[in-house]
Structures are given as structure tokens and as C-alpha cells.
Chain A
Amino acid sequence: MNLLKDIWDIFVIEVRRVLHDKGVILIFFIATLIYPLIFGAIYKNELVRDLKVAVVDESRGEASRRFIHKLDATPEMRVDYHCCNMAEAKHLMQQRRIHGIVLFPRDYDSRLAQKETARVCLFCDMSSFLYYRSVLSATSAVLLDEMQEIQVERYGLAGITGESADELIQPIPFDDVKLYSPAGGFSSFLIPALLVLVVHQTLFLGIGILFGTTREDRRTLRVIPPHLRREGRTRVVAGRALAYLALYLPVVAVDLVLMPRLFGLPHIGRLGDLCLFLLPFMLATVFFCMTVCSFVRERDTGIVTCIFFSVVLLFLSGAIWPQCNMPAFWRLFSYLFPSTHGIQGFIRIGTMGATLDQVGFEYGMLWLQAVLYFVTCCLCLRAGKWFRIGAA
């Protein structure tokens, strides 16, 4: 039982090494807890509410006033300023006191009275996607409501009333069902992706620091038992990976299973499927990090590289920008990282309730990565002798 004994030895050495490094403890156990909590607090309010807007009512009639009241009553918007002219409203916009301007032209009421099409102008602040989305959706909702009222009135004058008027106003009504996150909140959308990224990146950081420190201290071989220095690199890799996996088990349980429940994010997936999915994800991530970190020569370079790529990985994952609209090159590039498949799979199983076979591609890719990166990891350790890479 030499094999198991060797793996066990390495395992113990590695766990001890992690627990003796303040920096790694900070990253592995504190950062993984703090980051999700901070993000949870930041996005706590989910939706944009009571966005300040200004109205410029040049028409000053009954219809425009009613429209403004309705605007003010929407959850998204709050009419904070009634301006005399566009110049005044524009000035407020430049000061960023408001995020939208609704203009009723001089002929708004008179056109409505003449049974013609009246015009409402909406000016959106484009400095953030959410401003634009909220202002536009609130105004459109009020517009639809107001239109229906006017239509009922006009059809009534034309002699079409009651049920037949309704039939004419909306001959093909449609129901819209927003699946998986009915309110369309920001945290339900972004936090699942961030949680996976936090697990991926902290693991990378921690391993990077461990490997970098060993190299910096020029203890390259000292942390490996003497009889394993020539042969049995696979055992070294296996033992270390097991150590990281064991240490990360509680972290994953808290971050990926508990946190979504704590924040009240959608979590309709089956726990069994999720766990089965997370297994190859963790394996692939650990081996990926160990492979890449073999090239880290200094403790701090690892940190810098890792931090730098966090944002890039988030965009590569397809959680923000759809995967099908990425240029082919970046899409293939994104397949190299376990975080891409991890984020996709986690969102689909956790938020959308997909089963394991529905994330088959991601699942397969993660197993493939796990095997591939295990091999590269062993190769790096072996090559370390000649190329002065392959930490520890």
C-alpha cells in the first residue's frame, strides 16, 4: 500500500503548508466568505427603483398631466422635476440629478383632442444599461395603459363599445412569462456567476501563492519526501490535489450551496445534480490552477495575474455577453478555462433547474479538462527538473 501511503504523506504536508501560510488562509477561508457577502450587499436591492426623472410639459393639458401622474406612480420612476423647457431639464441631466426626460410637445393635448396620433419624447441617460432599461420600460408601460384608455374612448365615439371594442383593441393578446427570475433582478442574474468565479479565482490565488512562495524561498524540492523526488510525481500531484479539494469542500458548500439560499436567489436545481456537476468542476479547477501556477516564479506575480484575469473570465463565461455572439476565436479560448463551463453549468442547474444531461456538454468538457490538466500538471512537475519551472 505504498501508493496510498505516499499520497497520504503528501496530503498531510500540503494541508500543513496551507494552514501555516497567513496569506493563503486569508484567501482560502476569509476572502471566499467576504466576497459573496459584499456582492450580496451591493446588489441587495436587485432592481432600480424610483429613478429620478424630469418632465417638460409644454402642452399643459389634462391628458399630459394624467400621463405624468401615472409615470410618477410606476415603481421604476419618480418625477422629481417639472421643468419649463428642455434647456433646464438638460442642465439637470448634465448634473446627473435625473436619468431621463419626458417631453410633451405643445400639440400633445390638441392632437389627442383631434383624434390624431400624439407624440411623447423620451430622453434616456445612457451612462448605465439599467437606467436606460428602467426608464424605457416604465414609460412604455404607462404609454400602453394610456393608449388603451384613449382607444376605448375613440372606439366608443366610433360606435364600437364593450366586448367588441376590447376585441379590436387587442385582437391577439399575449402573456409574457419571465422564466427563472421573474422580477429580472440584478443579483439573481450576476451573483451565481460571481460565486463560481470567486471559488475559481481564490483557488487560483491560493495555489499561486503557495507555489510562488516555495520558489521564492528556493525550497523547490524540500517539500517533497526524498523517495518521491525522482519517481512518483503523479502521487505528488494526486496528494496535493486531494489536499486542496478537502480544504475546499466546506468553502464550496458555503459559497455554491448555502449562499444562493441565504440571498434568496433562484435555486430550483436538484442538489444531487449540482454536487455531481461540481465534482469535475473542482477537479478541473484544481489541476488547471496547479498547471498554470507551475509557471509562477514569485508569490506576488501570481496574485497580479489572477486578479487581472477575473474580469476577463467573467466576460468569457457568457453570463453577460451571450456565448453565441462571441467571435469563434474567443469562444474556443473560453473553453480552456474551467470557470466558463462551471459558470454556465451552475447557472443552468442552480437558477434554471436543468438536469445533468441538459448540461452534458459542460459536464463532459469539465471531465476532459480534469484529465487533461492532470496530465499537464504531472508533466510540469517532471519538467521542473530541467526548465526550472514546476514549483515545489
Chain B
Amino acid sequence: MSEEPKSIFAQALKREIKRLLYQGQARYLLLTSLGIVFCYVFFLTLMAEGQPERLPIAIVDRDGSYLSRRLCHEINAMQGVQVVAVYNSHASARKAMQRQEIYAFLEIPKGTYNDVLSFTRPHLALYSNNAYLLSGALSYRSLATISKLASGAVQREVLRKKGYDENRIMGLIQPIELDTHLISNPTANYQPYVLTTMLPGMLGLSVLLLTVYMIGKERKDGTLRQWLGHNALPALLGKLAPYTLWFATLGVLGNIVLFGRSEEVAFLCGFELHGSFVLVALFTLLLVTAMQATGVFLAGIIPDAHLSTCFAAIYGTLAFTMSGFSYPVDNMPGALQALAQIFPLRHYYMAVSRITLFGCGLSMCWVQVCALLLFLLTGLVGTWRLTDSKTTYQQQ
């Protein structure tokens, strides 16, 4: 006698809600949710500046002239860097760099000002710390800009004295100008790069771990059979449904924090969103379900509860790297490029970056929708394996 799938679903749902309310299962849900909220608060406040500002740099002033002092002032007027020290020798600046007191320094050799006046091309030297990619690159850029501007200023002075008019001078100093458009992130804010993928990634990771853990617990407690009964799929769906709902809601709330804009509410970040918010929310829901399915798959094929958690942990953390938001996937070795496809976060990133940055609609990211739906199939495999192990339980 097989029951209606609908009633099995309802039973499993009721059972899970009971477990959540009366048997202390809610504490795992609560802790995970707190973890996710912590991540949102942590990352959004950690990088509140958007782009690191006033990075400490130094000047090695061996000239001690009007020019070197002026350069120092000009550098301090830039937003990206601030001069925290002026040294007399290269060695002391380098040591300060190793002590992490500065990220870059500009060396002004002896006699620079004299050389400028007499037109004998003094050489400035610019040292930047490349061991720290972000801060090294940013402080380098600020110092390079200053050095170029200094050259331009000298040129302009000389040409003015030669009697050229301003228009011609500009044509001589700068024959071509670069007009840079940073699509949907005009200030090169570091947050949208990282957070629009990483925070949903954290959500996905917790969903995965929780799913594996929940199923592992059923197995450990020996309640697998009681739960799955004769028709496993509706029972599984019934158990997972409250979590899907809960985490999808959390995810959409997270999206609101990331993309919402309001004058009054301080915690909304207002990152650029050119496409539709509904579509982003849809992908968040798809990510949650795909991670749940992957969790069922892992818990299904690895019967040892401890081992499946270990595997989920390893797989889950790799997703951040393999999604390609920090280091492009097309730059990885070929085999790893293929491997990247087995991470739902990869498809989420591919779709959501399109929607947010370029305003793509569903027509441009239906491939990702299909890919994420395919992950649901792995969940079916997992369910089948679960029932399989259930029969072994019966035999025992």
C-alpha cells in the first residue's frame, strides 16, 4: 500500500517542523543563520572604504630641495596614499617596507632639482611592494601618477617660456588621452567584486554543510527508515522544504542589503544593479536548491556521516576559488576549467555578474539556469543511494 506522495510530503514536513521546534534541531539552523549574518556584517564593515585609501608610503629624500618638498606635498594631496616617513637612505626605507610600515617609496636622488633646472634628466626611482597585490598596486599607481604629472609640469613650464599657446601645449604634452569607463563600478570599489559572489557563496556553503549534517544525523540516529519510508523523494522534499524557504529568504534579504538603495537606511550598500532584482533573487533561490541537492548527493553516496561532512567541507571551500571571481577560470589549466563547472557558485557568478554589471535579462543567462537545475539531478542520485542504504539498514 503506497500512500499519496502529497501526504508523505506533508508528513515529512510536519515531522521536520516538530524536530525543529521541540527536539532542539533549531539550534543548528540558528547558528548557521547567525554565521551568515556575521559574514555579511564582517565583510561589509571590513571593507567599508571600498578602495583602500591613504596607504602609508615613504619618500627617500636625498635631495632636500624645494622640488622634493613640493613632491611630498603633492603626494599627500592624493587620496590613495599618505607620506608617513621621510628617510635619508634607501636601506632604511627598505627595512621599513619589510616591517610593513610602508607599501611603497619614492626615491629622489641627490641633485634632482639642479638636474631639472639644467635639463639633464634626473631619474626618480619608485619601489612598490608586490607581495601585497592590492595595496602594492594601488600605492604604485598613485606614485606613478605623481611622477608623470611632475614631468608634465616641467614640460608645460618650458613650452610656456618658449611662447606656445595653451592649446598647442596640451597637444604636445598629451597627444592622446585615455577615457576609462569602469562598467557599473566607476570608483573601482573593491566590495562589489568580492562580496556579490562571496557572500552568496557563504550562504551556499552553509546550506551544503547543514544539509549533509542533517542527513548524516538521521543516519547516525538510525531514523533514516522512519523518515524516508516507502517513497523517499517526497519525504526528502518535505524535510528540506523549510530550509529552502528559510535560506532563500535569507539570501534575498542579503541581496537587498547588497543592491538596495536608500537615503535613510544606512546598511544598504547600493551596489550597481542594471538588471532585474527578481532575476538575482531567482538565482539565489536556484543556488540554495542546487547546494541542497549537492548536499543530498554527497550524503547519499558517502555512507559514513563523518566522511561526508569532511568531503562537503573540502568541496565547499574550493567553490570560492573555482567560481572565478578572484582569479579568472579561463586562466586556469584546462582540466581545472572543466572542473569549475561542478560548482554551483561558478554558474551563479557567471549569471549574476551579467545581470548586475551589464543588465542582461533571462535570455542571456538561461544556460546558467539550466546548469543550476541540472544539479537537482545529482540530488535524485543522492536520494536513490539513500534509499539503497536504507534497504541495507533493513537487512541488518
Residues of chain B with a CB closer than 8 A to A120's CB? 176-179
A117-B171, A171-B121 given; A128·B328 CB < 8 A: yes
* Complex interface: stretch among A218-226, A278-286, A343-351, A368-376: A343-351
Q: Which residues from chain A contact B55 at a C-beta distance below 8 Å?
A: 322, 324-325
Does B322 lie at the interface of the complex (its beta carbon under 8 Å from any beta carbon of A)?
yes
Known: A146-B176, A182-B130. A122 touches B124 (CB 8 A): no
**Can you pick out 25 interface pairs between chain A and chain B where the beta carbons lie within 8 Å of each other?**
A41-B336, A42-B322, A47-B331, A96-B353, A96-B354, A117-B174, A122-B181, A124-B182, A126-B357, A128-B324, A129-B193, A139-B178, A172-B151, A176-B125, A179-B128, A180-B129, A181-B130, A188-B130, A300-B306, A303-B310, A308-B205, A322-B132, A325-B54, A327-B48, A348-B98
* CB < 8 Å neighbour of A321 from B47, B182, B188: B47
Tell me, in angstroms, the Cα distance from A199 to B32 when the chains sit together.
25
A304 touches B180 (CB 8 A): no
Flag if B213 contacts A304 (CB, 8 Å). Answer: yes
Q: Answer yes or no: B5 CB below 8 A from chain A CBs.
A: no
Asked if A147 meets B206 with Cβ closer than 8 Å, knowing A299-B306, A325-B53, the reply is no
- Residue A155 at the chain B interface, CB threshold 8 Å: yes
Chain B interface helix/strand/loop/mixed: helix
Assess the A117–B170 pair: CB atoms within 8 A.
Answer: yes
Which stretch of A5-13, A230-238, A242-250, A312-320 is in the interface?
A312-320
Considering only CB atoms, which chain B residue lies closest to A362 in the complex? Answer: B100
Encode contact with A along B102-142: 1 for CB under 8 Å, 0 otherwise: 01000000001000100111111111111111111100100
Roughly how many angstroms separate A119 CA and B179 CA in the complex, as a whole number? 7
Point out which of B42, B46, B324, B360 has the most chain A C-beta atoms below 10 A from its C-beta.
B46
A158 touches B172 (CB 8 A): yes
Tell me, in angstroms, the Cα distance from A303 to B172 when the chains sit together.
Answer: 64
Which of B53, B112, B175, B180 is within 8 Å of A117, CB to CB? B175
CA distance A41 to B335 in the complex (A): 10
B 159-214 contacts with A by CB, 8 A? 159, 164, 167-168, 170-172, 174-185, 188, 190, 192-193, 198, 202, 205-206, 209-210, 213
Confirm or deny: A85 has a beta carbon within 8 angstroms of a beta carbon on chain B: no
Q: Which residues of B contact A (CB under 8 A)?
A: 32, 35, 39, 42-43, 45-49, 52-56, 94-95, 97-100, 103, 112, 116, 119-137, 140, 144, 147, 150-151, 154-155, 158-159, 164, 167-168, 170-172, 174-185, 188, 190, 192-193, 198, 202, 205-206, 209-210, 213, 216, 305-307, 309-310, 313-314, 316-318, 320-322, 324-328, 331-333, 336, 349-350, 353-354, 357-360, 364
Sample of 5 more A-B contacts, CB < 8 Å, known A171-B158, A352-B98? A42-B336, A96-B350, A126-B193, A304-B213, A324-B56
Q: Quick check: B130 and A180 within 8 Å, CB to CB?
A: yes
CB-contact partner of A177 in B126, B151, B327, under 8 A: B126
Residues facing B in A137-191 (CB within 8 A) are: 139-140, 143, 146-147, 150-151, 154-155, 158, 164, 166-182, 184, 186, 188-190
Q: Does A115 contact B (CB under 8 A)?
A: yes
Bound CA–CA A352/B364 (angstroms)? 45
Residues of B near A354 (CB, < 8 A) are 98-99
Residues of A contacting B216 in the complex (Cβ-Cβ under 8 angstroms): 300
CB-nearest residue of chain A relative to B168? A115
Chain A residues near B (Cβ < 8 Å): 22-23, 26-27, 31, 38-39, 41-45, 47-49, 90, 93-96, 112, 115-133, 136, 139-140, 143, 146-147, 150-151, 154-155, 158, 164, 166-182, 184, 186, 188-190, 205, 209, 266, 299-300, 303-304, 306-308, 310-312, 315-316, 319-327, 330, 344, 347-348, 351-355, 358-359
